[in-house]
């Protein structure tokens, strides 16, 4: 028996080596193909006019994703998957933004995912907010809820006087990251570097390339500390292949790769439930690292607005239609909700009218779910959200290299976290397992039952 086991182990090793060699060859040619595809995208007006972060993803996705989806079907499981599961004590059953309360454990939720404060004031002293972060994570620890903690987004590093764009700050970033790990390694069970780099609101004021360098420096800093069983990684929205390519040299420092997937809610493109599998497969094929679905969910309310309804919204601001608002764009912006104004001024670039009406900002302006943004068979209702989780949790748990999942999120907010409007369905208002008043939604029972049946 041992003889055949050795033979089989040798076959798997040889096969893995062959795939790695083919990957290297593909990467060489794909890099050139991505450059050429970027030129093609620039030459096509309809594509060149897209938001920068979307436009940048097209060449990398076309050049890399098909091959690595194919290799995902051929790649054998490696020791990293079992090692990560062993470190964290089994399959990760989490919910984003869950409180440190017994009700969370009663719902069979064992993990939560939260951000952290920046550890230092601009004068170099340890911040009070950092002390509060540690106290907060200690509450979860005492209750027995594990935490996947997210390091501050690039903007917070810049505000604290540690601008990642300056070479003289690179060692300081490593030192701060080592400090974060030293301070938290006995309080949390996982650390994620930044969040959804490539998405403008999480990347600004850096470019995607600069933000990837920030993540790499953090990972290098973490590696200086004996972190015990704390697993570290990074998360992108969907595949974000341009980020994956830039982070590939630093995979030696990570235990897992995360992805946030919200198909059928933010946009019509990709409204197919089978794409969850495809996205996870591509990331596994490209990285060979265990995958965590760090965020996914489905809106429990919201609808698409008619042209008449949109004009009524504009009339409320004093404009008869979109053309009228565009003609007075600077004045129009000053009348929008304060949170929306901030996003437009930070992310809108030189053509703020295009950003308002032709980007995801439009979802917030119209307070709508875009036309076609719905997974077949799942309405944007309380029942549709519950059925989504009832179907998805066991489906996802069957994927051998997916080591955990975080439904988004524990509780509905009273207003949209992006634009500040109470009647905007897009961010924080309709994703929860419980309502804003604390009453349970049907989705809570679906998640509770789904997690109860996972045995990994």
pLDDT of residue 45: 64
In eight-state DSSP terms, residue 145 is -
pLDDT of residue 65: 87
Question: What is the spatial distance between Cα 10 and Cα 342, in angstroms, rounded to a whole number?
Answer: 58
CA dihedral 354, 355, 356, 362 (to 10 degrees): 110
SS3 readout for 104-140: HHHCCCCEEEEECCCCECCCCCECHHHHHHHHHHHHH
Q: Work out the pLDDT band at 29, boundaries 50, 70, 90.
A: low
**Out of 46-55, 106-115, 165-174, 264-273, which region has the weakest mean confidence (pLDDT)?**
46-55
pLDDT of residue 20: 67
pLDDT of residue 5: 55
pLDDT, tens digit (0-9, with 9 covering 90-100), for 420-429: 999 999 998 9
pLDDT of residue 18: 56
Q: Are 392 and 406 in contact (CB under 8 A)?
A: no
pLDDT, tens digit (0-9, with 9 covering 90-100), for 255-304: 999 999 999 988 777 778 899 999 999 999 999 999 999 999 999 999 99
Which CATH number applies to 79-301+375-452? 3.20.20.80
Whether the pLDDT of residue 372 is over 60: the answer is yes
pLDDT of residue 243: 95
Global model pTM greater than 0.85: yes
Residue tagged 């290098």 (tokens): 220
More confident residue, 24 or 10: 24
pLDDT of residue 12: 45
Q: Work out the pLDDT band at 316, boundaries 50, 70, 90.
A: very high
Q: Which two tokens stand for residue 424?
A: 């905007």
Q: Work out the pLDDT band at 55, boundaries 50, 70, 90.
A: confident
What does each C-alpha distance from 4 to 1, 8, 79 come to in angstroms? 5, 6, 20
Give me the percent of the chain exceeding a pLDDT of 70.
Answer: 89
Q: State mean pLDDT over 383-393.
A: 98
pLDDT of residue 60: 84
Q: Work out the pLDDT band at 360, boundaries 50, 70, 90.
A: confident
Q: H-type helices in 122-207, by residue range?
A: 128-143, 154-159, 170-184, 200-203
Q: State mean pLDDT over 209-232.
A: 97
Q: Which two tokens stand for residue 198?
A: 């490539």
Whether the pLDDT of residue 10 is over 50: the answer is yes
pLDDT of residue 254: 97
> What's the mean pLDDT when you consider all of the chain?
90
pLDDT of residue 268: 76
pLDDT, tens digit (0-9, with 9 covering 90-100), for 395-429: 999 999 999 999 999 999 999 999 999 999 999 89
Contacts of 306 (CB under 8 A, 6+ apart): none
Give me the percent of the chain exceeding a pLDDT of 90.
Answer: 76
């Amino acid at each position: 028996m041992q003889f055949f086991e050795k033979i089989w182990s040798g076959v798997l090793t040889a096969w893995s080596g062959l795939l790695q060699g083919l990957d290297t060859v593909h990467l060489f040619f794909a890099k050139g193909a991505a450059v050429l595809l970027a030129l093609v995208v620039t030459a096509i007006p309809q594509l060149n006019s897209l938001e920068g972060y979307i436009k940048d993803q097209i060449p990398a996705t076309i050049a890399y994703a098909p091959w690595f989806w194919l290799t995902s079907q051929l790649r054998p499981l490696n020791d990293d998957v079992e090692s990560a599961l062993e470190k964290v004590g089994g399959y990760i059953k989490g919910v984003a933004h869950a409180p440190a309360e017994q009700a969370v454990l009663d719902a069979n939720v064992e993990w939560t995912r939260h951000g952290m404060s920046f550890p230092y004031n601009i004068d170099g002293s340890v911040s009070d907010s950092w002390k509060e972060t540690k106290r907060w994570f200690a509450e979860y620890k005492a209750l027995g809820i594990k935490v996947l903690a997210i390091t501050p987004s690039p903007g917070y590093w810049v505000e604290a006087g540690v601008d990642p764009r300056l070479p003289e700050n690179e060692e300081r970033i490593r030192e701060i990251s080592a400090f974060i790990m030293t301070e938290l390694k006995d309080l949390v069970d996982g650390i994620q570097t930044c969040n959804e780099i490539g998405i403008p609101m999480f990347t600004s004021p850096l470019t995607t390339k600069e933000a990837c360098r920030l993540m790499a420096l953090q990972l290098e800093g973490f590696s200086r500390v004996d972190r015990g069983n704390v697993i570290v990684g990074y998360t992108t929205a969907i595949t974000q292949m341009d980020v994956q390519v830039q982070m590939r040299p630093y995979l030696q420092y990570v235990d897992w790769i995360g992805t946030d997937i919200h198909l059928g809610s933010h946009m019509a493109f990709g409204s197919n439930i089978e794409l969850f599998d495809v996205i996870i497969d591509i990331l596994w094929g490209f990285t060979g690292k265990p995958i965590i679905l760090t965020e996914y969910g489905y809106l429990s309310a919201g609808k698409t607005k008619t042209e008449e309804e949109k004009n009524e919204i504009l009339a409320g601001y004093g404009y008869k239609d979109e053309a009228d608002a565009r003609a007075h764009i600077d004045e129009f912006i000053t009348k929008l909700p304060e949170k929306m104004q901030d996003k437009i001024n930070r992310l809108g670039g030189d053509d703020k009218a295009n950003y308002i009406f032709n980007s995801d900002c439009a979802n917030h302006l119209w307070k709508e779910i875009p036309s076609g943004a719905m997974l077949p068979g799942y309405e944007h209702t309380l029942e549709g959200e519950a059925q989504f989780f009832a179907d998805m949790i066991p489906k996802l748990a069957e994927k051998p290299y997916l080591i955990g999942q975080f439904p988004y999120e524990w509780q509905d907010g009273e207003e949209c976290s992006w634009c500040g409007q109470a009647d905007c369905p897009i961010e924080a208002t309709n994703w929860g397992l419980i309502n804003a008043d604390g009453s349970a939604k049907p989705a809570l029972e679906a998640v509770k039952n789904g997690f109860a049946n996972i045995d990994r």
